[in-house]
Amino acid sequence: MAKPKVAFYWCASCGGCEEAVVDLAENILKVVEAVEFVLWPVAMDFKIKDVEALQDGEIAVSFINGSIRTREQEHIAKLLRKKSGLVVAFGACAHIGGTPGLANFSNREIIFDYVYQKSPSLDNPNKIFPQEKTTVKEGELTLPKFYNTVFTLDQVIDVDYYLPGCAPPPDLIMNAVEAILTGNLPPKGTVLAPDKSLCDTCKRKITKPEKAVIKQFRRVHEVLLDPEKCFLDQGIICLGPATRDGCGERCINANMPCRGCFGSTSRVEDQGAKFLSALASIIDADSEEEIKKITDSIADPAGIFYFYSLPASMLRRKFRTEL
């Protein structure tokens, strides 16, 4: 029996998801034994034209990580969609946009202006900007278009499953691979992690008081973090209540609050907005003055609440701003 063909591709990504595959440790041998890679730029020498040569649907499953920032990434994503039976959005960037998604608070013009003109460490006296087409004496060079907006994978192609996390934990990856190989898959569109918020399995849940109240917000460098108490009770912003379970609370167990990389549960459309609602509701103040004082103390609410999920949020990006 021929081994199922598998592709692993990275878009606007940091390489951490590739590392996650390596983190499978001994299990990676099981995977390598069971499948045949047809594309894995970081590790193998297959070319795009090799993929183009395949039949439609010939690839059993493509794991695509990273968000979509350039035309090339969109192009490859579409190519892999065409050639694959299943497409899995691998990791937070593909799933909900990831940290590259924070660029949606800006736009191409502003980014290029800073990177190619204003950055203090720059040496670009002729103000050269990357162009999509450049003519040199040898011919024409092309660069993929840099989009104005960062997209999630499912905003450019049809996605079958999502493996959440920055990066997805090894056990979740193994479960997903096994499910695919055995054909034991949930309905299309499922995120392959439990559909509850992570407070469900968090060790600190037991310390939560009946009435949650926050009198003052603190940042992690401002206080000695109690390794056992719920972060919210310490006045530290932790996105746990608004974040899907499945990561084993790796960050929390390392005494750092959750930053929401698994995205929201399936019942919430906008993770940042819902978290804002929960957090604001438990602020311990009733007068406008007191409330404002406390809310003003959060320097960058959008950046914290949408740290991973901005492109997947309802607004997706900031409204138009001039330079």
Partner 1 sequence: MKVRVGVYICSCGTNISDNIEIDQLVQFSSSLENVGYVKLNSLLCSEDGKNYLAEDIIKEKPDRVVIVACTPKEHEKTFRNVLQRAGLNPYLFQMVNIREQVAWVTDDKNKATEKAKSYIRAAVKRVTLHEPLEKKEIDCNPDALVIGAGPAGMEAAHMLAKAGRKVYLVEKNSFIGGRVARYEDVFPKMECASCMLEPKMDEILHDENIELLLNSEIQEVLGFLGNFVVRINKKAGFVDNEKCIGCGACYEQCPVKVKNEFDYNLSDRKAIYVPYTGALPNVPVIDKKTCLRFEGQNTGPQKEAFEAGLITREEYERFKNQDCKLCKEACMFDAINYEDTDEILERNVGGIIAATGFELFDPSVLPQYGYGKIPEVYTSLEFERILAQTGPTGGKLLTKNAKEPESVAIIHCIGSRDKDYKDYCSSVCCLYALKFAHMIEKHSPEVKVYDIYADWCVPGKDNQAFLDSIKEWKNIEFIHTTLPMNVVSKMKGEKIDLHCIDISEKKRKVSADMVVLCPAMIPGKDTAKLSELLLIPQGREGFFAEGHTKLAPVSTNIEGVFIAGCAQGPKDIQNSVAQGAAAAGQALSILVPGRKLELDVMTAEIDEKVCAECMICVGLCPYKAIVIDKEKRVAVVNTVLCKGCGTCVAACPSGSAKSWHFTTEQIFAEIEEVLK
Partner 2 sequence: MSDFEPRIVGFLCNWCSYAGADAAGSARKTYPPNVRVIRVMCTGRIDPQFVIKAFQAGADGVMILGCHPGDCHYKEGNYKALRRFHLLRKMLTQFGIEEERFRLDWVSASEADKFVETISDMVQKVKVLGPLKREIAA
Tokens 């898959």 correspond to what residue? 185
* CA 214 from centre of chain: 29
Q: Which of residues 271-290 bind partner 1 (CB under 8 A)?
A: 274-275, 277-278, 281-282
Q: What is the DSSP string of 265-295?
A: -TT-S-HHHHHHHHHHHTBS--SHHHHHHHH
Pair 4, 63: CB distance under 8 Å: no
* Nearest distance from C-beta of residue 274 to partner 1, angstroms: 5
265 binds partner 1 (CB under 8 A): yes
β-bridge mates for residue 67, sequence order: 12
210 binds partner 1 (CB under 8 A): yes
Selection from partner 1, partner 2, none that 117 binds (CB < 5 to 8 A by kind) is none
For residue 85, which phi and psi values (nearest 5 degrees)?
-75, -50
Burial label for 73, CB within 10 Å (0-12, 13-18, 19+), is buried
119 binds partner 1 (CB under 8 A): no
β-bridge mates for residue 59, sequence order: 84
Output 5 or 274, the one with its CB closest to partner 2: 274
Selection from partner 1, partner 2, none that 240 binds (CB < 5 to 8 A by kind) is partner 1
Task: Record the tokens describing residue 222, joined without a space.
Answer: 């401002």
Alpha helices in the chain (DSSP H): 16-22, 27-34, 48-52, 71-83, 91-96, 108-113, 170-182, 250-253, 271-281, 288-296, 301-305
* Nearest distance from C-beta of residue 199 to partner 1, angstroms: 4
Selection from partner 2, partner 1, none that 318 binds (CB < 5 to 8 A by kind) is partner 2
240 binds partner 1 (CB under 8 A): yes
197 binds partner 1 (CB under 8 A): yes
> Which residues of this protein are in contact with partner 2, per CB under 8 A?
71, 105, 107, 145, 147-149, 151, 268-270, 272-274, 276-277, 279-281, 283, 285-286, 288, 291-292, 295-296, 298, 300-303, 305, 313-315, 317-321
The binding site for partner 1 (CB under 8 A) comprises 195-200, 205, 208-213, 240-242, 245, 264-269, 274-275, 277-278, 281-282
